Structure 1
Amino acid sequence: MTRAAARRAGQEPKEPAELAVLRGWLRGRKSAAVAMASAEGRRATYPYLAERASAAGTRYVVSACTLRQALDGRLPTLRTTVAFARATGGDEATARRLWAAADRAVHPPRARPAPYVPGRFTTRAGLARAMNRVRDTAPDTTLRAIARLAGPGLCASALSRLLAGKQFPTAVQLTAFAAACQAGDEATAALLAGHRHILNGPPPPPSYPCGVVELAEERRQRDEAARPWLAAEPEPDWYDQQRRDEEEAAFQHRARDAEALLDELDDTGQHTGPGPAAADSHSGLEGLLSGRFRAAPGP
């Protein structure tokens, strides 16, 4: 629904009294400009007022359309209000005061959230995220307002690059940014601590012996905590232990028999010498050896 339709239907929201006072003052100044225009033999039209405002300097240059829109019910800009006062011979201080009151009524200050205190961060991206969170809790979150409060060392364009993570701030810029956002001492200290950590990097490992022992002990504790399923091998019960002892005794018995047969084989080879007889004796001993092993009891 348009403004005119809302006015006809009686649904137009009530405007603030401060805005009505400002518009009434502007209309009164336009009426006062009629006498000035008559003295010059002209009519007090909007082009005439725009010409008078532009003659006062470049900071007052406005168009006739802009001056006309200053009386249409919306809040004009401060520059238009001051130019209107200048063109009609009004007091500029009064124009600024009335406009400030109307601006506070039309744009009431937002409820500021609780100040944000950054946690621990170790990267440049983390610093940019922390700065954006701090900015969200500032009284005025616009880049222009923060840059104006931060001072000449931090312009709006530089602030935009810092918040986007495209530029790394200096400690002075970071301090000015926190002050402009009214972040508080705790948030400022957290930002600067993270800034120093990023610049200096992680601390070097300790080189003294006690430090090495402490690191080894910490690693051992971490390994034990991460692998609780590792445990010592359980001791065998009585039956398993007896069975192992029997297997070990049988193995030792077979080993002694094998050594005795090998000694007997060597002695027989030395007595018979090379030839068919020795080969027959060797074959017989091998058969005996294999037979004994087959006859040996198993475990």
Structure 2
Amino acid sequence: MPGPISTWSGLTRGLKRLHGETGSPPLRLLAASPGAGGRLSKSTISNILNGKHPTLEQLTALLAAFGTSPKTTGGMLAAYWRILAEHEPPAVYPCDIVERAESEREALHVQEEARRRYRGIEPEPELDWYDEQLRDAEETKWRRLEMWVDSLSDEELAALNHQAAAASGRDLGSELNDVRDLPGQTA
């Protein structure tokens, strides 16, 4: 009988074994199961079963989706904590550094979501890749505009305001103040 699980590959093998012992149900059924509780997607389960390091919440949800016994769940969670407690060797290839950083970032995200739920704050909706790119581009545009306006001297700002007022009757000073007062914009 093998000893306790103490590596990520051992945890992955154990999860694959549990998946097989439950009859290898389709991943979409596992993701939709009451045990998963909407915390796992089909791709997340696939990634975990193929060696991606799960977060504690993902592991707990996957074990619940498998319908494991309290003893098995306790043993797998103990293995998870044992693996985290061990010092990881230094990265041996560049992708390892990125994978570890991503894993740490995801763990921080899970902690932040737990804090938000505890405080009764609604979680921010997750954006897909395209929407994130749009949001980042818009945010960058506003930051550049702010930096440009902040770099103007009082004389340059007055000259621009005079030109705008002469051309269209606009008051740039009040428009800039309006923009700075928008939610999500910083002064």
- Greater RCO (Cα-Cα under 8 Å, separation 6 or more): 2
Establish whether TM, by shorter chain, passes 0.5.
no
Q: Which has the larger radius of gyration?
A: 1
**Could you tell me the TM-score, scaled by structure 2's length?**
0.42
